[in-house]
Amino acid sequence: MSVVSFKGVRVLDARGARFFPFLSWDGLLKKEENSREGGRRGGFLFPGVWDFHVHGGGGFSLASYSLREVRGALRAQYLHGTSALLAALPLMGPEALEECLSCLEEVKGESRPGEAKLLGVYLEGPFINPEKVGGMNARGLAGWSVEGFLALLDRYPGLVRVVTIAPERPEAERIIPALVERGVVVAIGHTQAGEEEAMRAIALGARLATHLFNAMGPFHHRAPGAALTCLLDTRVVVEFIPEKGHLHPLVQQFIVKLRKGEGLLPVSDGTPLSAGGPEETVWMGVKVAKQGRAVVREDGRLFGSAITLLEGL
């Protein structure tokens, strides 16, 4: 590996921001007493970010049966500052999901130069509210049973790390404890649940909120709903998209201030249009395009973002 040198750079890590006159990188970051020839001047150095909700990048999708496609997305995300990620898979039927999981199982946990590490899979569904599928294809709701879904997860132990559930679904009472028992994080999302249904899901073990406020019932002062319930319960980690097409900047401030910086999980919800991706493409069978830093279908519905997590932060 070649050595890269830096001059007058600030390093950001868990200890804060520190200034170094001279640094070098050969796989490890090292303090130098003197400058090497050439090198890069100024700027910041920091570890790669971990994005726990990302669909693709660089024109490639992580919801794919193709290793070439998956690795293309991992390379694109790595080149844009993401060192590890969860592959978020949109709503799809049983056969399609099994093919995707089979492909991703081959990649999970590998540490390959120039690729983000795949930590596992994040499933948005299938037990979500049909009225809150967002840009996803509602046909993916069909053909599922609790038993069939759990059997599919059991064929790929440890691969699926997060599953989004709508607490109002009749299956919620059965599937939330079963997922928790398997070590899967249950997320509340794509839901019209009221506060009592959300509280019940939390009592059963739900510990994450999927992209807060997006694909959720509205907040009202006499009907606070799932979003505020999740925000106020500190057992729940709140996932949010730092992109103004998804959340107004004032709402982002509200989330951060209410939680006082604790239990927050910024994610990109990045699609194949992120991380150097094209302006538009066909993804999951529908035409999508950038609208600012959001991604929309032709009918105007949001379908993820065009940002990387580093850009959002």
Q: What is the pLDDT of residues 181-203, one digit of tens each?
A: 999 999 999 999 999 999 999 99
Average pLDDT over residues 265-289: 97
1-26 confidence digits (pLDDT tens):
567 777 878 887 777 788 888 777 77
Give, for 226, the enclosing helix (H) or strand (E): helix 225-232
Average pLDDT over residues 117-144: 96
Partners of 260 in the beta sheet? none
Q: Is the pLDDT of residue 275 over 80?
A: yes
- In the chain, DSSP assigns E strands to 4-13, 16-25, 29-31, 40-41, 44-45, 49-54, 56-57, 60-61, 82-89, 117-123, 160-165, 185-188, 208-209, 237-240, 264-266, 280-283, 286-291, 294-297, 302-305
35-69 confidence digits (pLDDT tens):
555 556 677 777 889 999 999 999 999 999 999 99
Integer angstrom CA distances of residue 195 from 27, 160, 289: 49, 27, 34
Q: Is the pLDDT of residue 31 over 90?
A: no
**What structural domains does the chain harbor?**
4-45 (no CATH), 49-312 (3.20.20.140)
Distance CA 178, CA 136 (A): 25
Q: Residues of the chain with pLDDT > 70: what percent?
A: 96
pLDDT at 39: 59
- For the chain, the average pLDDT equals 93
Query: Worst-scoring range by mean pLDDT, 12-26, 199-213, 244-258, 271-285?
Result: 12-26
Q: Is the pLDDT of residue 219 over 70?
A: yes
Single-letter residue type at 58: G
66-80 confidence digits (pLDDT tens):
999 999 999 999 999
Average pLDDT over residues 285-305: 95
Encoding tokens for residue 77? 């995300």
CB of 17 closer than 8 Å to CB of 235: no
pLDDT at 34: 66
Other C-beta atoms closer than 10 Å to the C-beta of 234 total 12
Cβ neighbours for 304, distance < 8 A, ≥ 6 positions apart: 55, 135, 269, 270, 271, 273, 274, 288, 294, 295
Average pLDDT over residues 161-177: 98
pLDDT at 27: 67
Cis upstream peptide for 126 (omega within 30°): yes
Average pLDDT over residues 91-98: 97
